[in-house]
Structure 1
């Protein structure tokens, strides 16, 4: 890949400037902070294009991706679109010679991931996905304690859990055909955390799903009837080193559970976090001594450094660093999620392929 002389030479843009979470502005601001130059916005809603122009005076605006690719000199495009559009839109940009970052999840299926990686190699461009949570304070400390210091010995099991109890919202993330399923949103984060700690090949994945309850409770005019996500889904991952990871995302469980628990031969590391104001926002370490006595310590999570994602992208594109979130790395959670869905349908475990 041809490198840029300086970060300011990297002209960046976003595909999607919708109002949800104001993510278009967030991405462009983070890229600007990393030294890159906000240059273009593509958005089908004319009102949101006006917002983009107000946020970034002088920025190029386009109502279609085809127009942007034909007319703009933008170098790097970030895709902030529904999950099922990540692959087709990213592939179109790669074929046009543009570097690409997709919002997580990378894509929806293993096949899409492999095709996008092959396209990027063919056209000699960078492809990555927005795993800014790779640098979250809780996982950064966990990696130091578990991987580097081996505080809890050898990790043999990981429990990952997220969700609650309630009717899904009326938005595209509730559609299985658009989102990929209930596992894809937070499950992608939790798997990426897990893979930072468990350094081993994926052998096989088993998937389990509970369907139909919330669909039976939905109003007749609910737009996603017939295409709703699972009420709850689970992925069980077996690694070559013997470790097992259990991921569960649910809308049927009223019990608040730790999002991540790492079990080792010498203790347990619990990450209580994140997303709820009354969460304890802390790590807990339970370690046994030779007399089988349990000592518990805890503390607050270190500061998260999600800004390091685009700093790394800028440094990679200017030849100053290796890429952290490679497309091959981004593929690993997608392969697990894809296999879990296929396993749930088939009722049997699915073998992993070069994962």
Structure 2
């Protein structure tokens, strides 16, 4: 791995500068905040390249990744493209000697993750995922409460998100492109949950899915995402985790993650929390607001890892874990049986 004296020497770029959520600009600004130097943008839409040139005057722009890798000396690339392109682009960049940070999910399949990890190790390069929500205020507060003993021993986690409504006709609704209904917010909720279940080893995954309700009405027809996806992760200790993402949920559940322990329950939401415990035979309910998130720490950690050798927090192995669960959940739903994990 090339040595850098300070973060400003790390030239950074993005692959993808699409208009959705203005993510290209956000990534470059967060990299800049971490001390790195925005250098290049690759984007197939020439109009979006004009926007990038306005946002970052003097930045190099390219209409293909191959052209950028050939002509630019950019060191670190953020891949901000549809999910099914992540692995191919990441391996292309790693083979060209560039560090990469993929937008989540890292990939769609475990095999894709394995190939990315192998290529990064072979070339002694950094491969990470943009799990900036690892530092969301809600999970920072929940981890603090749980590890402080607020609900006793954790028994189970129920992660859920959904509502009732027809999905839009963008690429995230295509199962082939996105991976399925569980691959968007589901990856975030699993990553939250694995922080709570720190040290727990997985045993098997079961999956359930409902398809066909919205599909006839969407652009993608039979390739549309599931109407609802449900996964159960069984840990070797006997604890369990459920994940439910739905577009047919008429009665959305409270919060996004509910953690049940032997002495109480913690309902986690993005803005606030609810803690239910017991004292002298009386049920006590407390509520409060979550602290500010610290998502900027992701690129700061990446920069410090490259320059100072600090431990990388979002390793590709960590990012592979939710992908492994989601892939097995999909296979389980089709097979109608639980599937043993390869990676615990």
TM-score (norm 2): 0.98
Matched, 1:252 2:248: yes
- Residue number in structure 1 paired with 2:332: 343
Distance 2:157 2:61 in 1: 45
Matched, 1:284 2:274: yes
Distance 2:25 2:88 in 1: 23
**What pairs with 1:20-59 in structure 2 (closer than 5 Å)?**
20-59=20-59
Distance 2:215 2:177 in 1: 16
Distance 1:65 1:329 in 2: 26
Distance 2:141 2:64 in 1: 42
Distance 2:154 2:278 in 1: 14
- Residue number in structure 2 paired with 1:164: 163
SS at match of 2:285: strand
8 Å CA contact retained: 1:3, 1:319: no
- Residue number in structure 2 paired with 1:299: 288
Distance 2:58 2:224 in 1: 41
**What pairs with 1:1-355 in structure 2 (closer than 5 Å)?**
1-147=1-147, 149-199=148-198, 200-216=200-216, 218=217, 222-257=218-253, 258-273=255-270, 281-289=271-279, 291-355=280-344
Q: Deviations over 1:20-52 (max 9, x none)?
A: 111000000110011000000000000000110
Unaligned 5+ runs, structure 1: 274-280
Distance 1:330 1:314 in 2: 18
- Residue number in structure 2 paired with 1:278: none
8 Å CA contact retained: 2:324, 2:343: no
Alpha-carbon distance, 1:320 to partner = 4.9
TM-score (norm 1): 0.95
Distance 1:215 1:71 in 2: 43
8 Å CA contact retained: 2:156, 2:259: yes
Distance 2:186 2:3 in 1: 34
Alpha-carbon distance, 1:354 to partner = 2.4
Aligned residues: 342
Distance 2:164 2:252 in 1: 10
Q: Deviations over 1:158-212 (max 9, x none)?
A: 0000111000101000000000000000000000000001021111100000000
SS at match of 1:183: helix
Distance 1:253 1:15 in 2: 35
Alpha-carbon distance, 1:223 to partner = 2.6
8 Å CA contact retained: 1:53, 1:59: yes
Q: Deviations over 1:239-284 (max 9, x none)?
A: 12221101000000022322100000010011133xxxxxxx2111
Name which of structure 1's ranges 124-133 and 293-302 shifts more when overlaid on structure 2: 293-302
Q: CA RMSD in A?
A: 1.0
Distance 1:301 1:256 in 2: 21
Distance 2:239 2:310 in 1: 31
